[in-house]
Amino acid sequence: MLTIKDLHASINGKEILKGLNLQVNAGEVHAIMGPNGSGKSTLSAVLVGNPAFEVTRGEITFKGEPLTECSPEERSCRGIFLSFQYPVEIPGVSMVNFMRTAVNEHRKRKGETPLTAGEFLKMMREKQSVVELDKNLVNRSVNEGFSGGEKKRNEIFQMAMLEPELAILDETDSGLDIDALRIVANGVNHLKRPGNATIVITHYQRLLDYIRPDVVHVLYNGRIVKTGGPELALELESKGYDWLTKESTCSNT
Amino acid sequence: MQQYIDFFRTHRQQIDESCAPALNSFREKAFDVFRKTGFPPCPSEDYLHTDVAALLKDDFGFFLNPPGRTVDPHKAFRCNVVNLNAIKHFIVNGYLLETKDNAPLPQGVFSGSLHVFARQHPELFLKYYNRLAGQEEDGLAAFNTLFVQDGYVLYVPEHVILENTVQLTGISGGSSRSLINRRILVILEAGAQAKLLLCDHTSDEKSAPAVTQVVEVYAGENAHLDFYELEESAPEAVRLTGNYIRQAAASRMITNSITLSNGFTRNNYRIDLAGRQAETRLYGMAIADARQKIDTFTRINHLVPECRSSELFKYILDDEATGAFCGKIIVSPDAQRTEAYQNNRNLLGSRNCRMYSKPQLEIYADDVKCSHGMTTGQLDEAALFYMRSRGIPADEAALLLKFAFTSDVIQGIRLEGLRDRLKLLIEKRFRGELIKCQGCI
């Protein structure tokens, strides 16, 4: 589904990703772990086309089609979704208006007619229950005044509304208490389909107790330096990253 | 300016003959003031970005006699804000048209022509007319007083509540460049309440009138007035307004001025908070692109203790538009426990548009709460990207953000019908679909 080859990306002239390779197939859950500053968030930003980042080398293909030249909105309509580490507050834009515009753009792209107000509200109600999102929140401005946990739930709610084929969760667990973590993780699991894939970016094993990964990668210094099964996450939890980063530095020289 | 002095001298008789003596009685003094001051010099402290003399230097024509009453504005100009249930008046090239189809007004209320009011109620007229606008030697107000022949008066006696909104539609234009002077006088006696909506239009996109408009508002003790103004005029139109407002104790006012399209607009506001616990909210919003210019000057005088004022002005500029905002707040030495807040936020959509913002607070009392804030910037890149990442195209995302930017000014409007209509008009304006308001029905 997603193939990344020799990806180099930089921001303000500073190279962050330095030759990253990754293959994610339909139905798989991949976890990407790694120390701070290793490039995890950059990878997610580049995948959704954040214009602040520049791809300087390499290629990304999604469902066999090249992705790097696509606008963020095209990527979304093609089925890629990012749950933001820091969801943005947009005062004055209501959740309802925001989501209706987004959903109808997706429908337009698929050649479907826009939803009526009634159909849309029904869909909203159904999807809100997936993440137990307070129904009052959707009447407010996007993320404005939401607590940290509410913002993350709102991300998963949007994911439920847009039904992406590839979901990228960028530190969705950060800032969540145990209950919120469970609700968010259950939401993600509930949305899982055999044809879909998920990339989970996280620092902690904790989230992976709920969202079981098939493959675990360690990202360090802009490259994936180790790939393994779920047991790799446990190993990292007990040993930290030091042993890997040293290994990686040695193999570089 | 000399051309206007000469014109007044040669046409004095024609100007006076169709007007009430009470109205004419103010011209001599105005003539002296105008000869002395001329138009406000530019650049000067209060006129940094508007050169009135240059704007009015062309050879404009005057409408010196009221036009025939044959035009049916309901047909010529359909402007219908739903759910407003308004008392409607039309002011065409400065003259108020007679309207017969309005519902009867409460006892003692006058809603009609300035010229008729001056004839029918000379004692009230003399008590209020030009008392605020003529208080200082203001060249623009003097110019208006010199030439004005008609306008609109709303008089609401003590404790009368006018439930229906008054909608005053100004239509200016014509085939040649004309100078239109109109006057609005609003008198709310103690405990009276009213809502006034002024929709200001040009007759078509090609007309290029220059309009001077002086508004005087007296809000008596405990009186409540909502004053909304909506400008949609042609790219070559000039609009120069002076709003002079005096509020007595515990009166409440909302003033909300929205410029959807215009040529060159200068709006002046002077609000005197003259009785304890008077409260005023002064809001404004302008959407300007192409080469539009909009300049707002506000001066709020806190003259006595315990008054509150709150100001919010927002500009959305694009292309080569120019915006200016100057906000003066003057707190007098004995105006203790004043609360005064001012906010000016501006959104720039291109490299070539310009915004000039100048907050100016002069506080001479020590027990006050005053604040001001000003920001000028572009659309929030993070918000734009967030929306695009959900599939919303860049143009649409920008539109949603611009629309959101206007929302607090729109929320300040207490007429639901007008609020809904404005949301529609603003969206059309941002989409470049709006040509004229009458097409919106």
Closest C-alpha to B148, from B19, B268, B3: B19
Query: Which residues lie below 8 Å from residue B38, measured CB to CB, with a gap of 6+?
Result: B1, B53, B139
State the number of CA atoms in the 13 A half-sphere of B94 facing the CB: 29
Q: Which pLDDT does position B44 carry in this prediction?
A: 92
d(CA B117, CA B94) in angstroms, rounded, equals: 15
Is B372 among the domain residues? no
Last residue of a domain, one of B232, B258, B275: B275
CA distance A86 to A146: 12
**Confidence (pLDDT) at B83:** 62
- The model's pLDDT over A137-172, given as tens digits with 9 standing for 90+, comes to 888 999 999 988 899 999 999 999 999 999 999 998
Distance CA B395, CA B380 (A): 13
| Radius of gyration from C-alpha coordinates of chain A | 18
The beta strands (E) that lie in A131-230 are given as 141-142, 166-170, 197-201, 215-220, 223-228
User: CB distance A90–B385 less than 8 Å?
Assistant: no
**DSSP per residue over A109-128, as a string?**
HTTPPPPPHHHHHHHHHHHH
The answer to whether A29 and A212 have CB atoms below 8 angstroms apart is yes
CA distance B297 to B344: 12
Ramachandran angles phi, psi of B319, nearest 5°: 50, -120
Question: Mean per-residue pLDDT for A223-229?
Answer: 92
Count Cβ atoms below 10 Å from residue A83 Cβ, excluding itself: 25
Cα-flanking dihedrals φ and ψ of residue B221, to 5°? Answer: -55, 130
Tell me the residue type at A2: L
**Bridge partner list, A39:** none
Q: Which chain A residues are Cβ-neighbours of B406 within 8 angstroms?
A: 92
Are residues B271 and B385 both part of a single domain?
no
Q: What is the edge-to-edge ordering of all strands in the sheet holding A223-228?
A: A80-83, A166-170, A197-201, A29-33, A215-220, A223-228
**Residue B140, in any domain of the structure:** yes
Q: Which residues of A touch B405 (CB under 8 A)?
A: 92
- With respect to residue B300, please indicate whether it lies within any of the assigned structural domains: no
CB contact A84 to B (< 8 Å): yes
The last residue of one of the domains, among B241, B275, B309, is: B275
Cα A112 from Cα B214, distance rounded (Å) = 54
| Nearest-by-CA chain B residue for A47 | B389
pLDDT band at residue A40 using 50, 70 and 90 as cut-offs: very high
Q: What's the pLDDT at A238?
A: 84
- For strands B224-232 and B193-202, give the pairing: parallel
Looking at the 3D structure of chain B, how many domains does it have? 2
- What's the confidence (pLDDT) of residue B80? 56
d(CA B154, CA B110): 6
Locate B88 and state its tokens.
């409607």
Interface touch A82/B389, C-beta < 8 Å: yes
Are B290 and B322 in contact, with CB atoms under 8 Å apart?
no
| Confidence grade of residue A183 (pLDDT, cut at 50, 70, 90) | confident
Q: Name which of B385, B387, B393 is nearest A50 (Cβ-Cβ).
A: B385
Answer yes or no: are the C-beta atoms of B255 and B227 closer than 8 Å: yes
CB contact at 8 A, B63 and B209 = no
**Is B365 inside a domain boundary?**
no
A250 at B interface, C-beta within 8 A: no
Question: Is residue A116 very low, low, confident or very high in pLDDT (cuts 50, 70, 90)?
Answer: very high
**Residue closest to B164 by CA, chosen among B269, B84, B261, B268:** B84
In a 10 Å sphere around its CB, with 0-12 CB exposed, 13-18 middle and 19+ buried, how is residue A237 labelled? middle
Domain hosting A184: range is 2-252
- Interface mutation target, options B347, B384, B389, B410, chain A, most CBs of A under 10 Å: B389
CA dihedral angle for residue A59, residue A60, residue A62, residue A68, rounded to 10 degrees: -90
Rounded to the nearest integer, the mean pLDDT of chain B is 92
Q: Would B79 be classed as within a structural domain?
A: yes
Tell me if A213 sits within 8 A of A29, measured CB to CB. yes
Cα B312–Cα B325–Cα B274 angle in degrees, nearest 5? 60
Q: Which residue of B has its CA nearest to A107?
A: B391
pLDDT given at position A74:
96
Measured in angstroms, the CA of A224 and the nearest CA of chain B are apart by 25
Q: Identify residue A253 by its one-letter amino acid code.
A: T
Contact (CB<8Å) B391/A88: no
Note whether B383 contacts A90, CB cutoff 8 Å.
yes
Residue B432 domain boundaries: 379-441
* Pairwise CB contact (< 8 Å): A49 & B389: yes
Tell me which chain A residues have a C-beta less than 8 angstroms from the C-beta of B402.
Answer: none
Dist. CA B10–CA B24, nearest whole Å: 15
Residue A241 maps to which CATH number?
Answer: 3.40.50.300
Instruction: Give the total number of structural domains in chain A.
Output: 1
What is the model's pLDDT at position B70?
44
Nearest in space to A158 (alpha carbons), one of A102, A208, A207, A94: A102
Cα end-to-end span (Å), chain B: 42
The Cβ of residue A179 has, within 10 Å, a number of other Cβ atoms equal to 10
What is the rounded CA–CA span in Å between residue B276 and residue A45? Answer: 57
How many CB contacts within 8 angstroms connect chain A with chain B? 80
Of A76, A101, A141, Cβ closest to residue B389: A76
List of chain B residues with pLDDT < 50: 68-70, 437-441
Judging contacts by C-beta atoms under 8 Å, the chain A residues touching residue B393 are 71, 73, 105
Cβ contact (<8 Å) for A90 and B386?
yes
Pair B129, B216: CB distance under 8 Å = yes
The residue count for chain A = 253
Residue at a domain's end among B275, B307, B324? B275
The answer to whether the beta carbons of residues B183 and B151 sit under 8 Å apart is: yes
Q: Chain A: nearest CA to B408, how far in angstroms?
A: 8
| B337 lies in some domain | no
What the block records as the tokens of A161 is 């509304």
The two tokens of residue B299 are 């001066």
Q: Is the dihedral of CA B421, B427, B430, B433 positive or negative?
A: negative
B112, B168, B422 from B119: Cα distances, Å: 12, 21, 37
Three-state secondary structure call for residue A149 = helix
Asked if the structure places residue B141 within a domain, the reply is yes
Q: Do B265 and B390 belong to one domain?
A: no
Q: Tokens 């024609």 label which residue?
A: B14
Distance (Å, rounded) from C-alpha B271 to C-alpha B279? 10
Between B339 and A209, the more confident residue is B339
Mean per-residue pLDDT for A100-107? 96
- Containing A189, the helix (H) or strand (E) segment is helix A178-190
Residue B35 lies in a domain: yes
| Residues A16 and A43: beta-carbon distance below 8 Å | no
